[in-house]
Structure 1
Amino acid sequence: MSQPDTSLTDRLWALTSDAGRLRRVSIVLALLFAAILAADTLLADGSVNMRGEHLGGDFLAFHTAGEMVLEGRAVDAWDAARFEAALQEREPAIEWYGLTWQYPPAAYFLVTPFALLPYKVAYWAWMLAGLAVFWGCFRAAFGDRIEGKAAPLLILASPIILVTLVQGQNTLFFGGMLMIAAALPGRRPVLAGLAAAVLTIKPQLGLLIPVAYLFGGHWKAFGCAATFSLALSGLATLAFGIESWSAFAGAVSRVEADMAGGGSLYPFNRIISPYGALGALGVPHGIALSVHMLTVLALAALVALAWRSTAPMQAKAALLIPATLLCSPYAYYYEMVPMLFSIAVMISMTGIRNLNAPERWWLMLSWPLVLYLPLVQGAVPVQFGFVITASLVALIAIRLKSASAAAPAPAY
């Protein structure tokens, strides 16, 4: 009796489509990660870990900026030399940190409370708060269709979440805001507008939201976003002075100059935008930036068409998120966290066992690859983060076109 032929694709898919197996792998991965990170924290000498590197990645910059606010030196943080000096004051064991502060003044409202805590405690509070905010936003954006006790584990133990935690980045907070702003302008416009306003603290994550709201006709969400943004900026100006905005503009200009000069502080192999992908291949700055801007116009047009359509709101939001990530020339790989929402929507539209071949291969290859992006990108010129994000835009756009053709009326 002949045995049924099982292809390599089927074998690989069997490893990823079984919920029980995924749950067990997620538990092991999460426990292993937590144990390693706990050991790294406990054995660290101050903010320097066993490898002689600063513990918490970019969180050290956030904690230091918050301390400078408490010391009355908020404006100094935007000066690269003074910020490096502040880092050396707290831990001179590392010769040069190379961390900078280039967030708008309102970002101090997020980081300063954590500066009230000792560094190690603050780092863990930052991670746990980020996970709580991200999961709460994911639940609110995705709605009541999340089933099973494994859902939080499968999301929060995903490789891109772990990478973000190691980096100490703030994307769990702002990625959560992006999901809310993208998914809820119809059902909860005030909340969506508030989330969009918070994204002005990390404006690269909100570049296409005005396009989506305008072409989708979400005027209440648009108005709330504009009002809350002005209020947030006004509070920041009152708190940190008008001079904080000129200092912030100077810091942004230095980032742009560094990138135009080849990216010594902000390496191209960590940037997932078209500009970063071309820069990693050695394409000159002017050409890379021109191609990037043309791509942004194409993405804006795609989002406009999608949000004018009758496709379900979640499908529109799933497209908006990865398209937004590609628009900022300086978006790093850890910004890919909110794409978990897009992946969940893509799966939910047909069920995980009914994904087509391109979607299956994308999921099988992309899900684990992001865990190794920081290591892989230093060895190869191809920017895999860009490939993953751009291909997700394409897959969602195809699904959205089908959903739009089938839908008789807008979802909300």
Structure 2
Amino acid sequence: MTTLACALRSGDWLTVARIKSYSWILLAVTVAAIAGWIALSDGLIDRNGKPLGTDFSNVYAAGVLTLQGQAADAYDPPLQHAMEKAVFDGRDVPFFGWHYPPFFFAIAAITALLPYAGGLALWVVSSLIAYLAVMRAILPRPQTLLVAAAFPAVFVNIGHGQNAFFTAALLGGALLLIDRRPWLAGILIGLLAYKPQFGVLIPVALVAGTRWPTIAAAAATVAALVAISFAVLGSDVWHAFFQSMSFTQNVVLEQGGTGWEKIQSAFSAARHWGADIRTAYTVQGLLALSLAAGLAWLWQSDAAIDLKASALASASLLATPYVLDYDLMVISVAIVFFVRHGLAHGFRDYEISLLAAAWIVPLLSRSIAGLTTIPLGLIVLIGLFALTLRRASTDRTTEISGEHVRIAQA
């Protein structure tokens, strides 16, 4: 075996010094890129004619419509686009659709209480702090904040003005608390309903693990969110939401309106390679069923909660056909729980190298898919999920062997 192969297998190449150096370099590049992008903008419009924070413009516009008592208009593309233009004094900015359930209007309205720049700052900074706090709580080590802040998906998410910091914080926080405070974990999972596509497999894991208090709290939270939104916004807004789902499915997902290279799913990869819609859904469905079977086995077992959490985080991304490159922020949850388990029990062959690949892949996934059609993000995620199941199986085998030795010695 070559020196490189040995290093990849053992993971010895990734020393603490290198982790720090790589993180500082990427963090410095991220800060410089963001600062330069803002400095080169024309007011609130960047050099490409898009609003700073791009996708946040749809959140802010929806918030303005909510404050004006016209929340349902956010689900009508022409009306939503008209408001996005109005936010920027009539400038012809691109359309960024509003696809969230009605209870997310509360967050949008809060940001719209401030001028656009202030709302964007509040949105990014508050969600970034929540993400970093959860990462530090899961793995309270000196390097955690540096590595979490330098994670390339942070730059992607900030550049898009997206909500993936919230998603990672809610899922990571729920999985951190699920043993000690199951009801609070359920509330956090219920709040994740603002991104319903990521909750497809969460019930599978919770039922397999007989996490009934968490299931009850999650269901109650979703019911409360729906009831409050009905009471405050009325039923028309829900009717508009359900009508808008066909636009999201047909234009954004099935026709690749955002670009196949940007959507990091099995469905998108199949479509990028020329498959028809039915075939692509079949591929996605088979993957989702495989993930569900793996999660059910893992969560009903006595495997470590860190491995269960890591697998659920990566499977949540893999199960949905609609996962974009900024959503890869959730990989941080899978990584940090796996790392916590490895630091406590040791790392096995190829684990460190694959974790490093998962950490860097958000920086490369879109460009590589665009140039080669290779879905690197999808491949790494599948590898990480499979590795987690392998680790759980190996740990169990080791424990059984150790128990047999102890019995024999006794």
TM-score (norm. length: structure 1): 0.89
Unmatched segments (≥5 aa) in structure 1: none
Once residues 217 and 309 of structure 1 are traced to their aligned partners in structure 2, the CA distance between those partners, rounded to angstroms, is 11
Q: Tell me what 1:44 maps to.
A: 41
1:71 matches 2:65:
no
Contact 2:40 2:47 in 1 (8 A): yes
Go from structure 1 to structure 2 and tell me whether the alpha carbon gap of 1:234 and 1:270 turns closer, same or farther (over 3 Å shift).
Answer: same
Q: Tell me what 2:186 maps to.
A: 193
Match of 1:280 among 272, 275, 280: 272
Match of 1:239 among 227, 232, 236: 232
Partner SS, residue 283 of structure 1: coil
After TM superposition, the structure 1 stretch with the greater mean CA deviation from structure 2, 28-37 or 195-204, is 28-37
Once residues 358 and 21 of structure 1 are traced to their aligned partners in structure 2, the CA distance between those partners, rounded to angstroms, is 17
Once residues 368 and 91 of structure 2 are traced to their aligned partners in structure 1, the CA distance between those partners, rounded to angstroms, is 25
Contact 2:168 2:332 in 1 (8 A): no
- How far off is 1:207 after superposition? 1.6
Q: Tell me what 1:403 maps to.
A: 395
Once residues 17 and 375 of structure 1 are traced to their aligned partners in structure 2, the CA distance between those partners, rounded to angstroms, is 25
- How far off is 1:394 after superposition? 0.8
- How far off is 1:313 after superposition? 1.1
1:106 matches 2:108:
no
Once residues 69 and 260 of structure 1 are traced to their aligned partners in structure 2, the CA distance between those partners, rounded to angstroms, is 26
Contact 1:102 1:251 in 2 (8 A): yes
- How far off is 1:92 after superposition? 6.5
Match of 1:250 among 225, 243, 255: 243
Q: Tell me what 1:308 maps to.
A: 300
Q: Tell me what 2:217 maps to.
A: 224
Partner SS, residue 320 of structure 1: helix
Describe how 1:157-176 pairs up with structure 2 within 5 A: 157-176=150-169
Once residues 299 and 77 of structure 2 are traced to their aligned partners in structure 1, the CA distance between those partners, rounded to angstroms, is 41
Go from structure 1 to structure 2 and tell me whether the alpha carbon gap of 1:387 and 1:74 turns closer, same or farther (over 3 Å shift).
Answer: same
Describe how 1:260-299 pairs up with structure 2 within 5 A: 262-263=255-256, 265-299=257-291
Describe how 1:47-58 pairs up with structure 2 within 5 A: 47-58=44-55
Go from structure 1 to structure 2 and tell me whether the alpha carbon gap of 1:164 and 1:79 turns closer, same or farther (over 3 Å shift).
Answer: same
Match of 1:329 among 313, 321, 327: 321
- How far off is 1:237 after superposition? 1.2
RMSD over aligned CA atoms reads 2.5
Go from structure 1 to structure 2 and tell me whether the alpha carbon gap of 1:369 and 1:139 turns closer, same or farther (over 3 Å shift).
Answer: closer
Contact 1:194 1:228 in 2 (8 A): yes
Percent identical across equivalent pairs?
A: 28
Once residues 211 and 356 of structure 1 are traced to their aligned partners in structure 2, the CA distance between those partners, rounded to angstroms, is 28
Contact 1:184 1:191 in 2 (8 A): yes
- How far off is 1:14 after superposition? 8.0
Once residues 279 and 358 of structure 1 are traced to their aligned partners in structure 2, the CA distance between those partners, rounded to angstroms, is 31
Describe how 1:342-357 pairs up with structure 2 within 5 A: 342-351=334-343, 355-357=347-349
Once residues 225 and 97 of structure 1 are traced to their aligned partners in structure 2, the CA distance between those partners, rounded to angstroms, is 36
Contact 2:331 2:358 in 1 (8 A): no
Once residues 183 and 144 of structure 2 are traced to their aligned partners in structure 1, the CA distance between those partners, rounded to angstroms, is 27
1:147 matches 2:130:
no
Once residues 298 and 9 of structure 2 are traced to their aligned partners in structure 1, the CA distance between those partners, rounded to angstroms, is 33
Q: Tell me what 1:128 maps to.
A: 125
Go from structure 1 to structure 2 and tell me whether the alpha carbon gap of 1:232 and 1:315 turns closer, same or farther (over 3 Å shift).
Answer: same
Once residues 397 and 210 of structure 2 are traced to their aligned partners in structure 1, the CA distance between those partners, rounded to angstroms, is 20
Size of the aligned set, in residue pairs, is 399
Give, as a single letter, the amino acid of the residue that structure 2 aligns with 1:121: G
- How far off is 1:98 after superposition? 3.0
Unmatched segments (≥5 aa) in structure 2: 401-410
TM-score (norm. length: structure 2): 0.89
Partner SS, residue 270 of structure 1: coil
Q: Tell me what 2:172 maps to.
A: 179
Q: Tell me what 1:383 maps to.
A: 375
1:208 matches 2:201:
yes
Partner SS, residue 394 of structure 1: helix
Q: Tell me what 1:60 maps to.
A: 57
Contact 1:181 1:209 in 2 (8 A): no
Once residues 343 and 46 of structure 1 are traced to their aligned partners in structure 2, the CA distance between those partners, rounded to angstroms, is 38
Match of 2:85 among 78, 83, 88: 88
Once residues 155 and 26 of structure 2 are traced to their aligned partners in structure 1, the CA distance between those partners, rounded to angstroms, is 9
